[in-house]
Amino acid sequence: MRITHVISGLTKGGAERVVVELANIAVEKGHEVTVLAAWPVDPAMMQDQLHPGVGIKFIGATRKKAYLNLIPWIFRNRKWIGSNDVLHCHLTYGAVFGTFVFIVLRKIFRYKKPAVVETNHAVGMPIPPFNRWVHSRMLLFRDGVVFMARDAYWNGFMDKHPGLRSALIVNGIRIPKQDRSAEQHQQFRQKMGVKENCRYLVGTVSMLRPERKPWLYISLLQDVMEAMGDDVQFILAGDGVERDALRAQIEEKDLGDRICMPGLVNNPTSVMSNLDIYVSLCAGETAGISMIEAAMCGIPVVGIQLDPAYTPKETDWVWSNADIHAVAKKIISLLQDTGERKQVAHMQQAHVNQYFTTEAMYTSYDAFYKTVS
């Protein structure tokens, strides 16, 4: 099978990680795979993690040129696009690209291939209503759509369009390798400027963008600090447009010596594996890629729930709550009870190693490809 994944830039992010994982395992299974990125970025961010057998193409040298070149690029490369069995679209650029491919190649030129599918990575995220509506219109130009989670809006959308093939496929990653020696841990603490009297590290690796509400972590730490004092510090790793604003807020609250912001990290497990608790965002019952990765490292994971209407289920592998104060209380409880912390970490690690691996994700996508192509 010939498969092409279309995405914006191969930067740090859950969707980008999914593309790399799917591309790599598909090549290992004997398929011909290409990643079509809109514009190039630093290869160390994600591109270097691609299997040598995965092809890589770019549409434009910059974001602006990638959008300007989109339609001409499709016309110039229509024979190559049509030689693919599956065109798998991701994020906004992939959605726009897939829509034009469906209209130009499938409707105008009457190509039988490729099957155009999309993974909706934004389920449960606080997307502006108009943007979400536009995205829903583009999804009508698909042979199939995959949701990595469910929410009321997209459930309603699928009910209105029963003819559009869909599937729920949770994200998966390879079980990471990590060095958790005492020497490595001490080096990490020194690098991060952790105080000698600090007993616990709580942290996250996140894209510091408005829709991910990174300022919540500051409120979270303040609550935890009131109960734990100097025993705890916070690692807020990642980069994005909110970073400078967060730094200013941290300094304003005089928390500069309690929150470390190391910036972009190319190896997230180098941070996660040194934490006592990992915290990130949940969309309903679905946890992000970073939470899966942290759990695979044996670190207990707690979630900030983005959906205030979500009712937790006994089957949830991550405890989450939309009330930031409740999340802080949960973290405090785990820090104060070593036995419970170890029990949660063991349970979560066993769960993700069984259900959220790359192999499990690939098997579901392979079956879905076959139903639409």
Q: What pLDDT, on a 0 to 100 scale, did the predictor assign at position 124?
A: 78
Helix 289-296 × helix 338-355 angle, to 10°: 110
pTM: 0.88
Tell me which residue of 189, 195, 247 sits closest to 217, measured CA to CA: 247
Predicted pLDDT at 307:
87
| Rounded-to-integer distance, Cα 184 and Cα 218, Å | 27
Q: What separation in angstroms does the CA of 268 have from each of 20, 33, 363? A: 15, 26, 25
Assess contact for 207 and 311: CB atoms under 8 A: no
CA atoms of 154 and 147, how far apart (whole Å): 9
The pLDDT profile of the chain, 373 residues, written as one tens digit per residue, is 999 999 999 998 889 999 999 999 999 999 999 999 999 999 999 999 999 999 999 999 999 999 999 999 999 999 999 999 999 999 999 999 999 999 999 999 999 999 999 999 988 787 899 999 999 999 999 999 999 988 889 999 999 999 999 999 999 999 887 767 888 999 999 999 999 999 999 999 999 999 889 999 999 999 999 999 999 999 999 999 999 999 999 999 999 889 999 999 988 999 999 999 999 999 888 898 999 999 999 999 999 998 888 888 888 999 999 999 999 999 999 999 999 999 999 999 999 999 999 999 999 999 999 999 8
Q: Burial level of 155, CB count in 10 A (0-12/13-18/19+)? A: exposed
What is the secondary structure of 251-280 as a DSSP string?
Answer: HHTT-TTTEEEEE--S-THHHHTT-SEEEE
Which token pair is 316? 């949830």
Q: 229: Cβ–Cβ under 8 A, 6 or more apart, which residues?
A: none
